Amino acid sequence: MNLMQTEIALPARATVRGAANTITYAITGSPIGKVLTARSSVGVCAILIGSSADELEQDLRNRFPDSRLAEDERGLRGDLAAIVRFIEMPGAGLDLRLDTRRGTPFQQRVWEMLRVIPCGATITYTGLARRLGQPNGARAVATACAANAIALGIPCHRVLRADGTLAGYRWGVERKRALLTREAAI
């Protein structure tokens, strides 16, 4: 399993001026719907999943209101191909340089823990909270998962309720089920 790189955290509201504040993005189709990939100067800062390009572009604008957004399908072709390949064949892994600077320190701790969950494995929100040293922090872990903008790269779809059932997934429980089913088949 390849672990992805994460840059040093900046405050969640940090603003960068100039070209470094430009985010390029592109959208493609996949077996689980449309996928938007966005990249900052540091790395992939968003992988969003949805049913329409308009919905995904609006989500990106909402998440990065202080950034200049520029569509760049050609420049992101490799990232898009890697993401679709991962959806189709999760055993291939997903090795992208990530930019998680917009997360709080707690969110970043949760996201780092999510990234070490092997493909095909799951954990409960409570189990993840315990691993973080916060046995009563299941709700905070769930909130951090919901704030994750890098679907698949930070695999929050691998987290389940305490009873093992599927729970809220920002991009829909059916997509979560489809991803877990594909991963279980490897």
What is the per-residue DSSP string for 92-110? G-----B--TTS-HHHHHH
> Is the predicted pLDDT of residue 13 greater than 90, yes or no?
no
- And the tokens for 108? 């970043």
**Model pTM score:** 0.86
Counting every residue, how long is the chain?
Answer: 186
Is-catalytic flag, 145?
no
Separation between Cα atoms, residue 156 and residue 150, nearest integer Å: 9
Q: Domain-by-domain residue ranges, the chain? A: 18-92, 105-184
Answer whether residue 80 shows pLDDT above 80.
yes
Quote the pLDDT of residue 4: 33
User: What pLDDT digit, counting tens, does each position of 20-50 carry?
Assistant: 589 999 999 999 999 999 999 999 999 999 9
pLDDT at 168: 80
Q: Of 45, 119, 145, 156, which one is the catalytic site residue?
A: 156
Please give the single-letter amino acid code of residue 179.
L
Read off the tokens for 159: 């987290």
Could you read off the pLDDT of 104-150 as tens digits, one per residue? 999 999 999 999 999 999 999 999 999 999 999 999 999 999 999 99
pLDDT band at 18 (very low <50, low <70, confident <90, very high): very low
Span 48-66, average pLDDT? 97
- Residues 146-174 have pLDDT tens digits of 999 999 999 999 999 998 899 888 899 99
How much is the pLDDT for 92?
A: 87
CB distance 155 to 83 below 8 Å:
no
Alpha-carbon distance values, 165 to 2, 7, 44, 154 (Å): 27, 33, 30, 20
pLDDT given for residue 169 in this prediction: 86
Among 45, 113, 102, smallest CA distance to 76 is for 45
Which fold does the domain 18-92 belong to in CATH?
Double Stranded RNA Binding Domain (3.30.160)
Closest residue by Cα to residue 25 from 50, 57, 52: 57
Q: List Cβ neighbours of 163 (8 Å cut-off, separation of 6 or more).
A: none
pLDDT at residue 19 tops 80: no
- Pick the more confident residue, 15 or 43: 43
| Separation of alpha carbons 29 and 17, rounded Å | 32
- CATH code, residues 105-184: 1.10.10.10
CA distance 47 to 178: 17
In 8-81, DSSP assigns E strands to 22-30, 33-39, 44-50, 68-71
